Structures are given as C-alpha cells and as structure tokens.
Amino acid sequence: MTGGIPVEVLVLLIPLIVTFIVPFFKPQKATAISFASFIIPFFVLLYKLLISASFEFPLLDFPGPIGEFYLFGDAISYAIGLTICIVSAMVAAYSLSYMKHRFEEMELESETEFKKFFFFYNFYATSMLWLVFSGNLILLYIFLEIALITSFLLIYMYGYGNRQWVAILYFIWTNIAGVLALVGFLMIAYDNSTLALKGITSIGFTAWLLIFLGMIIKLPGLGPHIWLPWAHAEAPTPVSALLSPLTVGLAGYILLRVYLVDPWFIDTYKIPILIYAIISSIYAGFSVFKQDDFKRLLAYSTVSQMGYVLIAICLGPFGLIGVVIQYISHAFGKSILFMSAGSLIAVYHGLRDIGKMGGLHEYVPNISNSALMGFMTLGGVLTIGMFGEFFILYGIVDTFGKDSTLIDYLWLIIAVIVVFIISGLYSFYTLRRVFYRTPKEFETPKVSKLLYVPMYIIGLIAIVFIFPPLATGLVQNLIQNITSIIGGLP
C-alpha cells in the first residue's frame, strides 16, 4: 500500500496516463514509453502473484441496481493481467519497425501516424488490462467496449485489403456479442439489485444464456467464427498480435468470472457444451491445413485453441485452472506467431501466401526460430502450454471420475487428446511449409532486431513458466484462489 492506494492500482494508472501523453513524443520515444508503461506493471503483477497477494479498492458507489465500482485483484486477475502486460509491451516494441513499414506502404507520413497509432494502441491494451481488475459488470463492459472501439479504429485506419469493410464486419459481430452480454448483465442487476461481483448471489437462466451466447460469438466458437479470419488476417499485425491472443481470450475470462459467481448453467449443460467445444476445435484445427494465407491460418488456429477454453470451463476447479493457463499459453504462442507472420510481410514486401514460401529458415533464421517457439507453446511442448493440457485432462478425471467408471467418460478423454494432437500436427506442419521445405529463391534481407527480439522474449517467458518458482507460484495460487471461491458457493 502507498498512501492508502494499493500499488496494483498505481501501476494500472501508468499505462492509462501514458495513453494520453504518448502522442506528444516522437516515434522512438513513444515506443520506449509505451513499452515501459506495460513492463513495469508486468513485474509488479508477477511479484503479487508469486506472494499470493490480493487487493480491493473502491472507486465509486452507485445506488442499485448498478452498485459499487471497484477494482480487485486475485491470482486469476494477476495471471491474466501480467500476460496482457508482457504481450502489450513486446508488441509495442515490435510496432516501431512494423508500422513504419506499413505507413510507407500506405504512403502516409509516419511521424503523424505514429501519434495516432500509439494513442489507440495504448488505449486498446490498457482497456483490456483494466477489464480484468474490474469488480463490477458494467465497469467490465465499459472496458470491453473501449477495447472494441479502439481495435476497430486501428483496423479501419491501418488494415489490409478492404480494411473498412473488414473493420465494420468485426465491429458488428463483436458489438452483437457485447450487447448480448450487456442485456444479460442488466437482468442480473434486476434480480440482485447490484452489478458488483461481490454482491451478486444468483444468475437466472436467460441472463446466463445471453452472456454465454455473447461470449461464444466473441471467442469465437464454430458458427459465429466467420468474422474472425477476416479481422485477424486483415488487421495490421500489431493489432492481430493483441486481438487473437488477448482480446478473444477475455471472453473466456468473463465466462470464468460469471461461473465463479454462480456455476449452475455450465454445470447443468456441460455435456452439450463439451461436445460443441470439441467439434468446434476439431473443425477449426482441420481448417488450418487448408489455409494458404499465413495470418488467416493463424486465425483458424485461434478458433481451435478457444475450444480448449470452452472445454476447460466445464471441468470443475482444475478445468478452471486450465482456462487461466490456456489463456496465458495461447497469448504467448499466438502473439509470437502473428508477429512472425508480420515480420515476413515487412521484410518480403507483403509475403503472406504460404504456397510461395518454403525454406525461409535459410534466409530469416531469427524469425524462423521465434516461430518455432510460438508453435511449441501452442502445441504444449516444453512450455507453459503443457500445464494447460494437463489441467484439462485432470479436470476430466476429477469431474467425471467421482460418479462414473473410466469407460463412461473415456470418449471424452480420447476426444480431447485428439484435439491436442491436431493442434500439434497443424503447428509443425505449418512450420515445415513456411520455413523448412526445399528452399526457394529469396534474398537474405536485413531484419530489424525489433522484428524478432520481442518474440524471443515472450518465447523464453513461456519456457521459464514451466520451472519453479514461476510454475509453482502460478499453479499453487490459482488452486488456492479458485478452490476458496468454489468452496464458498452454495
């Protein structure tokens, strides 16, 4: 505590303040300030996670049915918050070289455009960070909408192809998701006379259903997923590197928070949700094999990976730990991969067609090696992704093994293992297609360190998280946090 204000709140203010001052600096200084504004909270939140800290800080007190606006932190918030911080910091550093290339490509004056870009970029990343510490559903919704508007504007201004149409498509679909969730939140307010998470005691069927459907669109799951390949593929790469790893995963975070308030909907309908999630993940996984556009391929991979989140949330306390760890591993792996795709676009003048690639490791080994780290993280190979898969399988046994014999839920174990195998297969199949086939005729370009060093840092963090004290601190505190909340449920 500092002067009565928790240090967590003070560090959350840093990127918010920087958002409004960064346009006054030249691109290099703006990059450094943006990077620092997220890296400082990263270390603070990591420390707070490891010491099992918590906090609650009141902001405003409204009469019912809105209730108190407050910020709070627990192991879940810290784990997801530090993930947002480290990815946002590294993508900010990456953006200096990448967006300079993009502005030149668009024939825009770079210094002026960097002022706009970093304002919207910082506001976008900061809104996601504040969302995970919001203790009131309306406050959470406000930050969700800020993230939508700022990401929409970044796609609209700096995207590829028919970027205005893609931005509007993205805005409409994700706004539908937000409106469905908002109506669900308002129904909760009517039933509980508050939207403060600590004051909500029950959530009715219709409210739960609307929130669930909204988050299915935002994840997205099979069916509503049609907006995502367009948005992720045509967004400027720094936006793709936040949108896929961080923003869509926050739908899983919202479902997790609602579950921890009242879990009955997920517990009651877990079998159809599991079946849907498995089908969604397998369908999207096989769709990856058919893609020739590198960024679109990664978008389908996101749909597949978000199936993990839906599977995990149905699997009791250990599955909920899997939700958090899957968020982290997907954020680390997919941010690396979108940046690697963007680096190829930058150094090879728009190269995205995998059919025209092959053997690129010979020419851009730093990008190739960082992409390997990204695919390892997605596939759960010697990275934090291993723990996500472990807790999902553990959750199956813990949830279904109490009242059933192994033969009764063996189908589920097999199906989930198939999902894991498909992710590994498409990861290394793609890696081979892009970087390790027979080399084609490419030049060896000069690659800015900012186009690959941030990826290495994220990849190393993904590896370090499988060792103590990070691994033990993360897992033990998540177990303690989640089981203490569930233990208090009626």
Q: Which helix (H) or strand (E) holds 229?
A: helix 227-234
Q: How confident is the model at residue 3 (pLDDT cuts 50, 70, 90)?
A: low
Residue with tokens 């517990």: 267
Q: What is the pLDDT of residues 323-337, one digit of tens each?
A: 999 999 999 999 999
pLDDT of residue 488: 56
Average pLDDT over residues 79-85: 97
Residues 224-272 have pLDDT tens digits of 898 999 998 999 999 999 997 788 889 999 999 999 999 999 999 999 9
What pLDDT is recorded for position 295?
A: 94
- Residue with the larger pLDDT of the pair 407 and 254: 254
* Cβ-based neighbours of 76, under 8 Å, separated by 6 or more: 132, 253, 256, 257, 324, 478, 481, 482
The answer to whether 242 touches 91, Cβ cutoff 8 Å, is yes
With contact defined as beta carbons under 8 Å apart, do 188 and 257 qualify? no
Closest by alpha carbon to 263, among 227, 314, 196, 308?
A: 314
- What average pLDDT does the segment 198-210 reach? 96
Place of tokens 């300079």: 100
The predicted-structure confidence for 53-63, as pLDDT tens digits, reads as follows 999 999 999 99
d(CA 459, CA 339): 12
Q: What are the DSSP E strand ranges found in 276-318?
A: none
Global confidence as pTM: 0.96
**Mean pLDDT for the chain overall:** 94
